[in-house]
Amino acid sequence: MLNLKTIDTDWTLFLDRDGVINYEKQNDYIHTWSEFKFYEGVLEAMAIFSKKFKHIVVVTNQRGIGKGVTKEEDLIYLHNKMKETIELNGGRIDAIYYCKDVESSSPCRKPNPGMGLQAVKDLPTIDLTKALMIGNTLSDMQFGKNLGISTIFLPTTRPKVKVDDDTIDAVFPSLIAFAQSLL
């Protein structure tokens, strides 16, 4: 069980993107910045996180690039604009990792831990005993467990998921609800 009182500025926060930071498109991908819409409260949450966490890392599967339906340069532009908007509102993202591979067996495609392991390599002060993953799928939760970290499930797009799943340590209705629990 995750004890929120143990979270301090030595901790790292891993975040999924679609369905956590922004609205997902049903049966499609977010291809461009014009399609990207922050969830209500996310900018406020990111400002809270920037004061509470040592590192904030986004890890996101982006199969649309591998399928050729999303342009990588559009994704990079979208991520730059997302970071810029978050920073203008007092928050930050320290690193963004995305997996464009189509095959589920790819070591970097969640639930496999490759993006998290790359973050540890790039940011060597990440301590996985003081890290957590927030996501909206069981794949995100399994990614967290594969990294050996705590998990928080947001039922934003999958309200029918059984929240008593062994991979879920805590459940919050939204990113801002979790952020406010840290105050």
pTM across the whole model: 0.97
**How does pLDDT run across 22-80, given as a tens digit for each residue?**
999 988 999 999 999 999 999 999 999 999 999 999 999 999 999 999 999 999 999 99
Into how many domains does the chain fold? 1
CB 9, CB 52: distance < 8 Å:
yes
| Catalytic residue annotation | 16, 18
pLDDT of residue 161: 84
**How does pLDDT run across 128-161, given as a tens digit for each residue?**
999 999 999 999 999 999 999 999 999 998 888 8
Domain span at 172? 4-181
CATH number at residue 34: 3.40.50.1000
